[in-house]
Amino acid sequence: MKRRTFIKNSVIVSGGVLITPNVFAAESNVSSRKRVTILHTNDTHSNIDPFPESHSKYPGKGGVARRFELIQKVRAEEENVILLDAGDIFQGTPYFNKFGGVLEMKLMSHLGYDAATMGNHDFDGGMKGFVDAKKHADFPFVCSNYGFENTPIDGHTKGYTIIKRGKIKVGVFGIGVEMKGLVPDLKFGETKYFDPISVANDKANLLKKKGCDLVICLSHLGYSYESDKVSDLVLARKTKNIHLIIGGHTHTFLDKPTEEKNLNGETVLVNQVGWAGINLGRIDFEIDSKVFAKKDIIKVG
């Protein structure tokens, strides 16, 4: 994809001289359209090396060094790139069993990840195991609906993060799956679980108030369920102020992001790229910057 150049439209509105320049700019089409490229993975599950050519399902697919090459290519073409992961970084190959997640963290830092959230398997080495591995990470973990007070993870995650790229502010928060039944009790200990929908609404509202142009939820809830269990699609419908949900957990390969309507009837994108680093998700946003705009309208090209 080629980098696009944006031409500032100059529109003359009569009487405009009487109005403060900011308001004028916001109202007219004199918009500086801003562009940001979101790259994302989920459920990479310690798949450091590509699947072997003899693999029965994904021969020759994936591989962290190849992902790095691909990301570098995008970074060379695009000014504003943000790299995110929706959890389950650990568990799936002997690399995790032998090295406890250290290599995964070193590589994600090298690839330039900006933020990740924790999946249920990121507790597999125990909470202390996670903290030990995380020492090798130079990016934050955003976990908004786990309460880690009185656990070894306390202080090692953030409720949200704001990533600035050029003139763009992107707010990112993380929603985890309920661990009871998924993770042995001992591994998550006294971790408290808070309702995904109300936490997501609070964080998204906060990030909007802080002036974020885009609000992204990293979710490890899972794409969709037949039961009424909360999923990414449910989260999209029952919240507002979220533009994009990057999901995981269900290892869902989507051809393109799903468009859902939120509580305000606005479009929310839900994306997920399977697992094992077989695909890298790429979503390019071009954003208007109207200061007094009431509503965001997402148009998928």
Partner 1 sequence: MILKIIIFLLLGAGLLACSSVNTILVNNEQVSVTSEYEKVNSADSIILPYRNDLNKEMLEVIGFAPQSFERGRPDGSLNNWSTDVILNSQLEKIDKTKPIFCILNFGGLRNPISKGDVTLADVFKLMPFDNEIVIAELPISSIAKIEAYQKIRGGEPIAGAKIQNGNFVFNNPIPGAKTMLIVTSDYLFNGGDHMDFFQDNIDVQYAGELMRDVMIEAVKKQETLIWSDEKRIDLGE
* Residues of span 127-166 touching partner 1 by CB under 8 A: none
On whether the CB atoms of residues 152 and 128 are closer than 8 A, the answer is: yes
- Binding partner 1 (rule: CB under 8 A), the pick from 92, 100, 140, 176 is 92
Q: Taking contact as CB under 8 A, which single stretch among the options 81-89, 91-99, 152-160, 165-173 is the one that binds partner 1?
A: 91-99
Q: Taking contact as CB under 8 A, which single stretch among the options 76-84, 127-135, 143-151, 284-292 is the one that binds partner 1?
A: 284-292
- Judged by beta carbon, residue 58 or residue 194, the one nearer partner 1 is 58
- Judged by beta carbon, residue 155 or residue 167, the one nearer partner 1 is 167
107 binds partner 1, rule: CB under 8 A: yes
Within positions 212 to 271, which residues make up the interface with partner 1, using CB under 8 A?
214, 243, 253-257, 269, 271
Among 35, 45, 118, smallest CA distance to 82 is for 35
- How many residues touch partner 1 (CB under 8 A)? 86
Q: Which two tokens stand for residue 4?
A: 């696009």
- Binding partner 1 (rule: CB under 8 A), the pick from 43, 62, 127, 215 is 62
- Binding partner 1 (rule: CB under 8 A), the pick from 15, 135, 228, 265 is 15
Beta-carbon neighbour count of residue 167 at 10 Å? 12
- Least separation, in Å, of the C-beta of 139 and partner 1? 15
- Judged by beta carbon, residue 199 or residue 244, the one nearer partner 1 is 244
- Binding partner 1 (rule: CB under 8 A), the pick from 3, 8, 73, 164 is 73
- Judged by beta carbon, residue 97 or residue 150, the one nearer partner 1 is 97
- Judged by beta carbon, residue 27 or residue 154, the one nearer partner 1 is 27
- Binding partner 1 (rule: CB under 8 A), the pick from 85, 124, 232, 260 is 124
Q: Which two tokens stand for residue 271?
A: 């994306």
**Given CA atoms 73, 74, 78, 81 in this order, what sign does their dihedral have?**
negative
Among 49, 141, 60, smallest CA distance to 93 is for 49
Within positions 174 to 213, which residues make up the interface with partner 1, using CB under 8 A?
180-182, 184-185
The C-alpha atoms of residue 221 and residue 214 are separated, in whole angstroms, by 21
- Binding partner 1 (rule: CB under 8 A), the pick from 2, 5, 7, 56 is 56
- Binding partner 1 (rule: CB under 8 A), the pick from 3, 55, 209, 210 is 55
The C-alpha atoms of residue 288 and residue 90 are separated, in whole angstroms, by 38
**CB crowding 140-165: b at 16 or more within 10 Å, else e:** bbbbbbbebeebebeebbeebbebeb
DSSP letters, 50-112, are: PPPTT-SSSTT---HHHHHHHHHHHHHH-S-EEEEE-S--S-SSHHHHHHTTHHHHHHHHHHT
Phi/psi region, residue 258 (left: phi>0; alpha: psi -120 to 50; beta: rest), is beta
Q: Taking contact as CB under 8 A, which single stretch among the options 142-150, 161-169, 217-225, 292-300 is the one that binds partner 1?
A: 292-300
The C-alpha atoms of residue 208 and residue 202 are separated, in whole angstroms, by 10
